[in-house]
Amino acid sequence: MLAGLVALSRDRVLALMSLAHGDEKHDWSSVSTVDPLVVLYGRILRFDPTNPRWEERDRFILSKGHGPSAFFSVLAACGFFPEDTLRGYMTKGNPLGGHPDRDLVPGVEASTGSLGHGLPVAIGVALALRAKGLISQRVVCLTGDAELNEGSSWEAILLAPHLRLSTLTLLVIDNHTSSIEMAPWEGKLGSFGWDARVVDGHDHEAMYEALSRHAPDRPTAVVADVGREDEA
């Protein structure tokens, strides 16, 4: 399936998340990823929900594994599994837990939860695709701003430009939960060699434009500023 064939919207994903959360308030960790995920799965990524391991798919790794209900809702909306599965979110016997498990959930590339693991893995995936001659496939890794406190993430941020991984995109959801000031993003990531830009994390066109482009000789970083929870 090519990108753009799935009718995704913020409202649709929020409605599906209500199946997972019931009457409880959606957690900010999930909600803050909704708009970027809608753009990614609706317009950017190539995938086939009937064949989740399709060799020519783009790869998406939710490195920030916590708060995955938005991700699960997007996967359900795309047809990776029945929407009704969301009703059993985080309950016994249901494959949808508090962190995504690649062996349990179709469409999940990596089992994540412990922060700082996803970007190194994404580098390995991008290198593997290059070794296999799959040079048009993209690898997108979603992290949070606080996750980037992790040293292992900065190891990977140092390494990816060195390897000229132009197919790799780091998508940072800046929901301002980091206790350590992470800005200025463009200056920090740019000085490590990334083609970095900050966009409004609710502006779908801006995110689409930022996520569509990638430099030929270095990785891309898109920081989606979604504001603070009390501003949402």
Partner 1 sequence: MPTMREQACATASELFRNEERVVLVLGEISLGYFEDAFRLAPERAVNVGIMEQCMIGVAAGFAMEGLLPIVHTITPFLVERPLEQLKLDFGYQRLGGTFISVGVSYDYSIEGPTHHSPGDVAVLSTIPGFEILVPGTAAETDRLIRATYSNGRPTYVRTSIRQNGQSLEVEPGRIEVIRRGNRPAATVLAVGPMLTPVLEASAGLDVSILYATSVFPFDGETLLREAGDLVIAVEPFQEGTLAPRIAEALADRPTRIRSIGAPRRYLIGYGTPDELNAAAGLDVADIRRRLEPWVSV
Residues 3 and 151: their CA atoms lie apart, in Å, by 33
Question: Is the Cβ of residue 121 or residue 182 nearer to partner 1 in the bound state?
Answer: 121
Stretch that binds partner 1, among 1-9, 67-75, 109-117, 211-219 (CB under 8 A): 109-117
Binder among 5, 15, 132, 213 for partner 1 (CB under 8 A): 132
**Binding of residue 131 to partner 1 (CB under 8 A):** yes
Residues 59 and 218: their CA atoms lie apart, in Å, by 18
Binder among 13, 121, 211, 223 for partner 1 (CB under 8 A): 121
**Binding of residue 152 to partner 1 (CB under 8 A):** yes
**Binding of residue 130 to partner 1 (CB under 8 A):** yes
Smallest distance from partner 1 to CB 196, Å: 19
**Binding of residue 116 to partner 1 (CB under 8 A):** yes
**Binding of residue 211 to partner 1 (CB under 8 A):** no
Stretch that binds partner 1, among 30-38, 88-96, 128-136, 194-202 (CB under 8 A): 128-136
Residue list 160-179, contact with partner 1 (CB under 8 A)? 162-163
- Cβ neighbours around 36 below 10 Å, total: 25
Smallest distance from partner 1 to CB 110, Å: 7
**Binding of residue 27 to partner 1 (CB under 8 A):** no
Q: Which two tokens stand for residue 222?
A: 């898109």
In the sheet that holds 220-225, the strands lie side by side as 59-62, 139-144, 168-174, 220-225, 195-200
Q: Is there a contact between 37 and 70 (Cβ–Cβ < 8 Å)? A: yes
Residues 19 and 2: their CA atoms lie apart, in Å, by 27
Stretch that binds partner 1, among 1-9, 23-31, 153-161, 202-210 (CB under 8 A): 153-161
**Binding of residue 45 to partner 1 (CB under 8 A):** no
**Binding of residue 66 to partner 1 (CB under 8 A):** no
**Binding of residue 155 to partner 1 (CB under 8 A):** yes
Q: Which residues bind partner 1 (CB under 8 A)?
A: 102-103, 109-111, 113-114, 116-117, 119-132, 151-152, 155-156, 158-159, 162-163
